[in-house]
Amino acid sequence: MSLKVAVPVNRSGMVDTITRTAPSAHVPGRPRILIVMTALAAAVTLAAACAPAAGPLGRRPAPTGPAEREIVFPVGREVSFSDTFGAPRGGGTRTHEGQDLMAPKMTPLVAAADAEVDWLRWSSSGNAGNMLVLTDDDGWEYWYIHINNDTPGTDDGANRYDQAFADGIRDGQRVRAGEVVAYLGDSGNAEGTSPHLHFEMHDPSGRVINPFNSLAHAELRVRSAAETERDRPFGNLETVQRSGGTVTVRGWGIDAHLDDPVRATVMVDGNPVASASASLSRPDVAAANPGRGSAHGFELSTTSAPAGSEVCVVLHSIGGGGNTRLSCRTAPA
């Protein structure tokens, strides 16, 4: 079973010229406390290791008018920038259709609004490199371009998925304003320039809108650990077994608010290789989590996990706000 990461054929991947086509109550059981605390500690450790210092990088310019759209600032720290919308690019063959927000690699990028990941591109090729598009409930689109493709501290272009996108970010995933969705970098034609986020806004008709005033007015906000913990799924990766050349993982996962099955994704050495709904019957999980039902088990198999590789499972929240990486294991020989 393979995970589909969208690389849309109807979008060119070219910066500035990309073509656009037209909660139930939670009753926690003991497993939630253990698993969530483990996952939260792992997330904090990863963030501390990868993220740059969170101090300001200058001051944003004063707005020249009202915000085109009230948003959360898409970079998780204060940065200065100037209005370059419409400036010539490519030797005058095109114009700049966004704003460039300069910051160190691996600076967290956050959702500008409550939205859905409309599509995601995981590729260093083309002018855009790694990118994603969030679409809010009113049809406004927020484009994040030049997302990181390097191992932290290098310029190696290794393009490990979990060093480009935050855990649980996939095509179709719901996110909440201020939720970390990706990491700033220099992929695509930003290689050889200072790392930055190229940020675009498109109105519901698909028209590109200068985001300058929206960025100048935007609220600087990153969802707190408490907010994330409240919305993240919980569960357990129980076994990682090999039979022949196939590795099978088993466990369970429950959304923080809804009883609908969550989605589980297998990550091998940081890259997604298989995904499925956690909807298998698990009476034991239902007994430990009263009121949550039994359809929360998962079993996924992959041939893409060589012996000694790191095998992890990520649970995707249904309503957004935070996803969960369960404990990781080493693929057996």
One pLDDT digit (tens) per residue for the chain, 333 residues = 334 343 332 333 333 333 333 323 332 333 333 333 334 344 433 443 444 556 788 899 999 999 999 999 999 999 999 897 666 576 666 666 789 999 999 999 999 999 999 999 999 988 999 999 999 999 999 999 999 999 999 999 999 999 999 999 999 999 999 999 999 999 999 998 999 999 999 999 999 999 999 999 999 999 999 999 999 999 999 999 999 999 999 999 999 999 999 999 999 999 999 999 999 999 999 999 999 999 999 999 999 999 999 999 999 999 999 999 998 999 999
Closest by CA position to 144, among listed 159, 165, 160? 165
- 180 phi and psi, to 5 degrees? -70, 125
Domain at 50-222: CATH architecture: Distorted Sandwich (2.70)
181 class by beta-carbon count within 10 Å (0-12 exposed, 13-18 middle, 19+ buried): buried
Terminal Cα-to-Cα distance of the chain (whole angstroms): 21
Residue 166 contacts residue 182 (beta carbons within 8 Å): yes
Question: Residues near 275 by Cβ (< 8 Å), separated by ≥ 6?
Answer: 1, 3, 4, 170, 263, 264, 265, 266, 300
**pTM metric for this prediction:** 0.84
Tokens of 272: 């997604």
| Both structure tokens of 178 | 């201020």
The verdict on domain 227-330 having CATH code 2.30.110.10 is: no
What are the boundaries of each domain within the chain?
A: 50-222, 227-330
Query: How far apart, in whole angstroms, are the C-alpha atoms of residue 321 and residue 258?
Result: 13
